[in-house]
Amino acid sequence: MLNGFLVLNKPAGFTSHDAVAKLRGILKMRRVGHAGTLDPMAEGVLVMLLGAATRASEYASGADKEYVAGFELGVTTDTQDSWGTVLSRAPVAASRRDVEEAVRGFLGQSEQTPPMYSAVQVGGVRLYDLARRGIEVERGSREITISDIELLPPREGDGPNEYRLRAVCSKGAYIRTLCHDIGQKLGCGACLTSLTRTRSGSFTLREATGFDGVAAAAAEGRLENLIRPVDGLFSDLPALVVNAEGEKRALNGAHLAARHLQSGRVPPEGGLCRVYAPDGGFLLLGVSRPLDRGGLAVFCRKYFTVKEDHA
């Protein structure tokens, strides 16, 4: 059983679930997942989780993402991208300076309404399932943060209404909807024409590998060069090393106090941390919580040890 993660360069035309199925076939294993979804139209960085690392999905999906997106002004579609059915066409009076100002206006926190063609659930049903049946429902907006955004220079061959932007955004932001909203702000509409995720957390497109590269590594016995240990997903969290008693307690689901630590400190209340065995093996993610009798301790959030009893 392989345990860890790899950084995949997902090609356009694959859903995130398709990517899971493809890797299951290449790696000949069932326990494959992903951290954060990527639209079928999009390509680029998708972190794939293997074996015990599949337990990390809810924690690894929250990292910020960077995208490069192409969009066309004057066109709207039912999916907010060029793969959808055209709903309207309108003349475009906006200058490049107008577009730059509109793009910069989305910097910071804002409310965004998820598109109907999305995996968001309303009443236990995926929005895209409703959209495919021609049903549109009321859906609440969500707060997103765009920490960096810019209009990119034009490329040779771009049409008069074709633009590209780069955006760094929080979990849950839809770039399709961002482009749609830019078009609405300019009064002419817009739709996404291309999308590349260039970064997910600290993992970049430069270090990502395509399906062919993974298949070649598997065939040549070089997978260890691609698969990284699961704790690499949490490198920004503080690390604790437990003593022998602490390891036993951790593997039995008991809390860890300061006396159970070989090195490191219990983080402030609510803080997440990585917990390691005395031999350096990664055991689990922990969270600091108060004890009834006073003081703080680390409580297990999710096991990642591959020891037989807890794999």
- Burial class from Cβ neighbours inside 10 Å (0-12, 13-18, 19+) for residue 159 reads exposed
Among 8-17, 53-62, 135-144, which is the least confidently predicted range? 135-144
List the catalytic residues: 39
Indicate where the chain has its CATH 3.30.2350.10 domain(s).
Answer: 4-63+202-230, 66-157+178-193
Tokens, residue 148: 């960096």
Q: Say which CATH superfamily domain 4-63+202-230 falls into.
A: Pseudouridine synthase (3.30.2350.10)
The CATH homologous superfamily to which domain 66-157+178-193 belongs is Pseudouridine synthase (3.30.2350.10)
The model's confidence at residue 310, banded by pLDDT at 50, 70 and 90, is very low
- Its sign, for the CA torsion 94, 96, 98, 104, is positive
CA-wise closest residue to 223 among 232, 214, 231: 214
Residue limits of CATH 2.30.130.10 in the chain = 237-310
Q: Is the pTM of this model over 0.85?
A: yes
Fold of 237-310: 2.30.130
> pLDDT tens, 259-307?
999 999 999 999 999 999 999 999 999 999 999 888 899 998 877 765 5
